[in-house]
Amino acid sequence: MQFSVIIPIYNRPDEIVELLESLTLQSAKSVFEVIIVEDGSSTPCKEVIEPYFSQLNLHYYTQSNQGPGMARNHGAAKAIGEYLIFFDSDCIIPSNYFNHVIEHLEIQPLDCLGGPDRSHPFFTPIQKAISYSMTSPITTGGIRGGSRKMDKFYPRSFNLGIRKTAFEAIGGFADMRFGEDLDLSMRTMNSGYKVGLIKEAYVYHKRRTHFKAFFKQVFNSGIARIDLSLLHPGTLKPVHLLPSVFTIGYPLLLALAFIWSSWFSLLFLLFPAIIYLDAQLRTKSFLVAILSTWASLIQLTGYGTGFLKAFWVRIVKKKGAFHNFAKSFYD
């Protein structure tokens, strides 16, 4: 067995069906097993995945709620593949995903790998808008595996592969609620393992279905960036500061337009105009482009606000790790 696909899931049985269905359509289906770890869900997925036990080499395990990192570690302990492949439950995998991974590894071996994420044509307009905001270089999304190099590429858990021997050597995922995938990638690099991007091995990533949940996600991502900078000194880059600068500076433009000069209002309108035009070119949809302006504002200000709060709590006040919306993260 070459690959072990590991999927943590928490109260999202509707998503796992689409993911498993996409795995049944893989042209290289014989090279992987699938391990689902139910992380203490109150709405388990066991019933809805039942038909796929006959279609896939599928294994199902449960644990008390401990977070996605610990669920992935649980699955890794059961895996028999040479490589562990981690997907999030809200992903859909193109049918040639494993072909691309195998071809790349045969030419350029890697210890840890990752790929980009894309929007599927059948996603809702809000999901497409959120996908745009999380993958566009304008919103700093280009650091997630795009063509523009804004920072080192760190594989993320929605699409991350690692040799099982390397995973065990570095101790697996840390007990972090957010940023645990970046922490794993950083520790893998620091341990001297070869880490790389396979651009062809992309996944369709649904993310959140509404903006409220999206704000909570990016807010905690901003908090996680400060946590990661404390765990891994030197990894905080200027690009990571841009959302915070935007969070402070963008409302300031509107204030200056009222108290000083109306010219500042033009600068205030410039950002949504650029986002709209770029999203329109990329998505060919008026509705998605309009929603993308709002999603991009949420992405930048949510991340920036979380980053600033964590900077105040963890750096200035020197308090311990924290995150928000623990009980309502998916609401």
Give the pLDDT band (50/70/90) at residue 316.
very high
Residues 148 and 181 grouped into a single domain: yes
Residues 12 and 120 grouped into a single domain: yes
Residues 243 and 144 grouped into a single domain: no
* Range from 10-14, 103-107, 135-139, 322-326 carrying the lowest mean pLDDT: 322-326
Higher pLDDT, 178 or 129: 129
The reply to whether 327 falls in a domain is no
Phi and psi, residue 26, nearest 5°: -65, 135
Tokens representing 220 are: 């905690």
* Residue after which a domain boundary falls, among 176, 193, 210: 210
Give the pLDDT band (50/70/90) at residue 142.
low
Residues 26 and 117 grouped into a single domain: yes
Tokens representing 18 are: 């689409």
Q: Mean pLDDT, to the nearest integer, of 266-270?
A: 93
The reply to whether 321 falls in a domain is no
Determine the pLDDT at residue 247.
Answer: 96
Determine the pLDDT at residue 239.
Answer: 84
Q: pLDDT tens-digit profile of 169-203? A: 999 999 988 899 999 999 999 999 999 999 999 99
Determine the pLDDT at residue 152.
Answer: 78
The CA distance from 320 to 310, in Å, is: 10
Among residues of the chain, what percentage have pLDDT more than 90? Answer: 80
Determine the pLDDT at residue 18.
Answer: 94
* Residue after which a domain boundary falls, among 210, 243, 261: 210
Give the pLDDT band (50/70/90) at residue 144.
low
Residue 55: give its domain's CATH number: 3.90.550.10
Residues 52 and 177 grouped into a single domain: yes
Residues 19 and 131 grouped into a single domain: yes
Residues 185 and 227 grouped into a single domain: no
Residues 157 and 306 grouped into a single domain: no
Q: Mean pLDDT, to the nearest integer, of 247-261?
A: 92
* Residue after which a domain boundary falls, among 163, 191, 210: 210
Angle between helices 286-310 and 211-231 (to 10 degrees): 40
Structural domain containing residue 19? 3-210
Q: Is the pLDDT of residue 300 over 60?
A: yes
Q: Mean pLDDT, to the nearest integer, of 140-146?
A: 54
The reply to whether 322 falls in a domain is no
The CA distance from 107 to 230, in Å, is: 36
* Close Cβ partners of 253 (under 8 Å, ≥ 6 residues apart): 264, 265, 267, 268
Q: Is the pLDDT of residue 324 over 90?
A: no
Given a contact cutoff of 8 angstroms between Cβ atoms, the answer to whether 191 and 150 are in contact is: no
Tokens representing 216 are: 């909570």
In the chain, the number of structural domains is 2
Residues 123 and 154 grouped into a single domain: yes
The reply to whether 326 falls in a domain is no
Determine the pLDDT at residue 327.
Answer: 53
The reply to whether 190 falls in a domain is yes
Residues 136 and 42 grouped into a single domain: yes
Residues 196 and 254 grouped into a single domain: no
Q: pLDDT tens-digit profile of 23-74? A: 999 998 789 999 999 999 999 999 999 999 999 999 999 999 999 999 999 9
The reply to whether 206 falls in a domain is yes
The reply to whether 331 falls in a domain is no
Q: Which helix H or strand E contains 129, and what residues bound it?
A: helix 125-135
Residues 104 and 232 grouped into a single domain: no
